[in-house]
Amino acid sequence: MEKNKNSFKDMKVIFFDAGPIISLVMSRMWWILPKLKEKFGGKFYITPAVHFELIDRPLQTKRFAFEALQVMKLIREGTLEVYDNVPEKKVKELIRIANSTFKIKNKSMDIIQEGEMQSVASALELNAPVVMDERTLRLFIENGKEMTSLLEHRFHNTITADNVKVNLFAQMLQDVTIIRSIELVSIAYKIGLMNLYIPAKKNGRSLLIDSILWAVKFNGCAVTEHEIEEIKGVLLE
């Protein structure tokens, strides 16, 4: 049994939060996922809570039902697989710490969702990266002070932080590698998946890169305009 567990940890795996998949579906670029998975040669996993966010919940609405069907197609065809061995004890511990760290008007703030934590905890257990567009978790890990400023800007109120918990949470997640959907579309461009969209213009490549980078930003990927310009510069080299 132990041998199987170790061999599973050696597999090439990437976990996906709901946000990046939504970004790609809404940007009409979900089709790059099967091709990226083939290039990657490993597993693309979503957790049960992410499955609920992507499929079960939106299927109950008319507005997002078709987006849910597109994700279902990715699962049906084997591009995405549901990972059932989520370390629930670790998930609950991380959520407990995260959602008692920041307070507004002396009330704790729920800033982390179950889907995010299932993805991160599972990724940590398998030493795998996680694809996540939400800015909150990245800041929580990387810069607690900036996280506090972000929350104050978002809620237009004073936020108090438990710095002991900030440091503990960051330490527990220090080994997680986070990828965003904007990195995925950049890779897709670099390996030629976007070539069929290059218009027959002098600045055709530049126009295409702008369009795909801004598409994922407008559909939920947390990325600044400065970052987009930097990524564009690298892709045009």
CB 120 within 8 A of CB 130: yes
Residue partners of 165: CB distance under 8 A and separation at least 6: 97, 100, 101
The domain boundary residue, chosen from 179, 209, 228: 179
Together in a domain, 143 and 190 = no
The domain boundary residue, chosen from 157, 179, 201: 179
Return the closest-CA partner of residue 228 out of 219, 108, 176, 211: 211
Together in a domain, 140 and 218 = no
- Give dist(CA 136, CA 111) in Å, integer: 8
Range of the domain at 227: 181-236
* Token output for 29: 């670029």
The domain boundary residue, chosen from 179, 194, 224: 179
Together in a domain, 121 and 16 = yes
Together in a domain, 62 and 169 = yes
Residue partners of 198: CB distance under 8 A and separation at least 6: 204, 205, 208
Together in a domain, 213 and 224 = yes
Domain count, the chain: 2
Q: How far is CA 110 from CA 63, 70, 151, in A?
A: 26, 30, 11
Q: What are the beta bridge partners of residue 179?
A: 131
Cα-to-chain-centroid distance, residue 210: 21
CB 13 within 8 A of CB 128: yes
Together in a domain, 144 and 230 = no
Together in a domain, 30 and 93 = yes
* Token output for 3: 């041998």
* Per-residue confidence (pLDDT) for residue 11, from 0 to 100: 58
* Per-residue confidence (pLDDT) for residue 16, from 0 to 100: 97
* Token output for 229: 């310009």
CB 85 within 8 A of CB 122: yes
Radius of gyration of the chain (CA): 19
* Per-residue confidence (pLDDT) for residue 170, from 0 to 100: 87
Domain of residue 91, CATH code: 3.40.50.1010
Together in a domain, 68 and 160 = yes
Tens of pLDDT along the chain (237 residues)? 233 333 344 559 999 999 999 999 999 999 999 999 999 999 999 999 999 999 999 999 999 999 999 999 999 999 999 999 999 999 999 999 999 999 998 899 988 888 899 999 999 999 999 999 988 888 887 777 788 888 888 889 999 989 899 889 888 988 889 999 999 999 999 999 999 999 998 899 999 999 999 999 999 999 999 999 999 999 998
- Give dist(CA 164, CA 4) in Å, integer: 38
Together in a domain, 175 and 186 = no
Together in a domain, 87 and 65 = yes
Together in a domain, 97 and 192 = no
